[in-house]
Structures are given as C-alpha cells and as structure tokens.
C-alpha cells in the first residue's frame, strides 16, 4: 500500500509575511490529517519562515531546486546542506520550468538527485512530455528516456525513496488536465519502466504523483486512479482553501 503524498509547489510566489500566513493557516486547517504526506515547497527565501510555522506538525517541507555540488564557489546557487538546514525533507528536481527556462537536462537532474541523497533529502523528480511530443505520439518514448537518464546509477533502496511526479507540460498552469484515465495510463507505463530498471518489487513501492492543473473539483477523480499516488499542485497551492481541499481528497 503506497501512502498518498500531496505537495504544493509555490514556485516564485509569497513574501515572508504571506508565506507565514499561508503555512500557519494550513497547519490549523489540516491538523487532523495524518493518513497522507503533506509537503509545502516554498521558494528558498522563505524556507526558514515557513518551517517556523509548521515545525512540530505533521506537515513537511521541500525546496524547489538545488545544485549538484556541496558548499563552495557556485555564486547564486543553493546546495543540499543549506536546504537540509532549513528543515526540508524533500527537494523538487527537474521541474519542467527548470528544464525549459534553465536548460536542465536529465544528466544534470541525475547529478542533483545523487547529491540530494547524500544530504538525506527525498527527491521529487518531475518528468513529462510537451504538447508537441504528445501530438506526435512520442510521449512514452520521451518519458522513458527521462526516467532512464534521471535515475541512472541509483540504488534500488534510493529509488524506493524517490517520488516521481508525472507532469505533462501541456497541463501545467493551463487549466487543461490530462483525463484521469490518460494520467493513469502514463503512471502505469512509468511503473513498468521502473520495474525494468529496478525490479517489480521496487516499482510497486515507488510513489508517482500527477501534476498539471489539479484543483479541488478534479482531485477526487484523479486520486481514484490505481496508479496515481498523489498530486504535485502549483496554482491551487497558493491559497489555503483549495489546497486544504486537495489534501483532503476523498476516496471515490
């Protein structure tokens, strides 16, 4: 049985005051939810502030990126050691916005992933095809290549701790979601690729989140799919009511 995991990716939003307000409100509104993992992923600048609001609760925290190196001469970057110190247990790697705007490749994401484990951070690794790739029928080819590239050299033990986020790029921030069946089909496929690389037992344990315009009104249907173990939520994680409702998805 895979434990559901709902994560909110705040992207480049929230001042310190706003972040504290959102985090404290979520702590209050979700105080009774213990049967699923809840992860807030604020920007670097407010990680300490958010942690001060949620420390001691069941809510966990993740960063949105990290460098593949330890401390040193990497002006403008943030390393795993620093992220760990803020209170984070997770780090998002390879989000499509980082692949698109900052030219992150699977090889770079792989280096970051191995470093994340060194600092005992659980990675949430994003994969997903663009609209053009889906329209040309290449979505499985693209996603399997991302998985092979991102997870190269990983032990089975580390793979089990890794969360995969399937985020079709065409569904991010567009209001356009993959149908629950379309999403589940890809999740099932991802599990077969992981089984081929790490064994069936490992693939059955890996949690695969769906991301792409998840909202209160579609989360129940999405979470009802057998291979969908959670959601990575962007826009709808910026306000307490919709995010709390998404966390409280109902089993239908």
DSSP state of 136: T
40 is written with which tokens?
């807030």
Catalytic member of 95, 104, 133, 187: 95
> Rounded to the nearest 5 degrees, what angle is found at the Cα of 129, between the Cα atoms of 153 and 144?
35
How far is it, in rounded angstroms, from Cα 80 to Cα 118?
8
Please choose, out of 61-69, 104-112, 145-153, 165-173, the segment that lies near ligand PEP by the rule CB under 6 A. Answer: 165-173
Pairing of strands 90-93, 122-127: parallel
Report CA-CA distances (Å) from 149 to 92, 103, 109, 119. 16, 15, 8, 21
Interstrand relation of 5-9 and 163-166 (parallel, antiparallel or unpaired):
unpaired
CA 162 – CA 209 distance, rounded (Å): 11
Query: Which residue among the candidates 53, 60, 129, 167 is catalytic per the annotation?
Result: 167
Single residue of 235, 243, 246, 249 touching ligand PEP by CB under 6 A: 235
Q: Is 141 a catalytic residue?
A: no
Least gap, CB of 136 to ligand PEP (angstroms): 22
Is the separation of the CB atoms in 106 and 149 below 8 Å? yes
Smaller CB separation from ligand PEP, 144 or 237 = 237
Binding of ligand PEP by 211 (CB under 6 A): yes
Q: Cβ-count burial of 135 within 10 angstroms (0-12 exposed, 13-18 middle, 19+ buried)?
A: exposed
Q: Which of 91, 172, 202, 219 binds ligand PEP (CB under 6 A)?
A: 172
- With beta carbons less than 8 A apart as the criterion, state whether 88 and 47 touch: yes
Indicate whether 232 belongs to the interface with ligand PEP (CB under 6 A).
yes
**Residue 64 near ligand PEP by CB under 6 A:** no
Among 22, 169, 202, 233, binds ligand PEP (CB under 6 A): 233
Pick between residue 38 and residue 202 the one whose CB is nearest to ligand PEP: 38
Whether 31 is a known active-site residue: answer: no
Q: Is residue 106 involved in binding ligand PEP (CB under 6 A)? A: no
Q: Among residues 19 and 126, whose Cβ is nearest to ligand PEP?
A: 126
Q: How far apart are CA 208 and CA 190, in angstroms?
A: 8
Judged by CB under 6 A, does residue 209 bind ligand PEP? Answer: no
Query: What size, in residues, is the chain?
Result: 252
9 binds ligand PEP (CB under 6 A): yes
Q: Which SS3 state, helix, strand or coil, does residue 243 take?
A: helix
Q: Is residue 122 a contact point for ligand PEP (CB under 6 A)?
A: no
Q: Which stretch binds ligand PEP (CB under 6 A): 71-79, 182-190, 192-200, 227-235?
A: 227-235
213 near ligand PEP, judged by CB under 6 A: yes
Residues binding ligand PEP (CB under 6 A): 9, 167, 172-173, 211-214, 232-236
């Amino acid at each position: 049985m895979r434990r559901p995991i709902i994560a909110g990716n705040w992207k480049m939003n929230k001042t310190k005051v706003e972040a504290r307000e959102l985090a404290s409100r979520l702590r209050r509104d979700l105080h009774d939810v213990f049967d699923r993992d809840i992860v807030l992923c604020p920007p670097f600048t407010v990680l300490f502030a958010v942690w001060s609001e949620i420390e001691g609760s069941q809510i966990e925290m993740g960063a949105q990126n990290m460098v593949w190196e330890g401390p040193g001469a990497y002006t403008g970057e943030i390393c795993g050691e620093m992220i760990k110190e803020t209170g984070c247990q997770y780090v998002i790697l390879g989000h499509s916005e980082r692949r698109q705007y900052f030219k992150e490749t699977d090889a770079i994401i792989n280096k970051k992933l191995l470093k994340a484990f060194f600092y005992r951070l659980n990675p949430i690794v994003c994969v997903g095809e663009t609209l053009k790739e889906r329209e040309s029928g290449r979505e499985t080819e693209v996603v399997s290549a991302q998985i092979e590239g991102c997870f190269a050299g990983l032990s089975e033990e580390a793979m089990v701790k890794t969360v995969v986020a399937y985020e079709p790029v065409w569904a991010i921030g567009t209001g356009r979601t993959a149908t629950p069946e379309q999403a589940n089909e890809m999740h099932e496929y991802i599990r077969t690729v992981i089984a081929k690389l790490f064994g069936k037992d490992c693939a059955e344990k890996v949690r695969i989140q769906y991301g792409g315009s998840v909202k209160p009104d579609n989360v129940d249907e999405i979470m009802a799919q057998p291979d969908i173990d959670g959601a990575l939520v962007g826009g709808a994680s910026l306000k307490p009511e919709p995010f709390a409702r998404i966390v409280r998805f109902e089993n239908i």
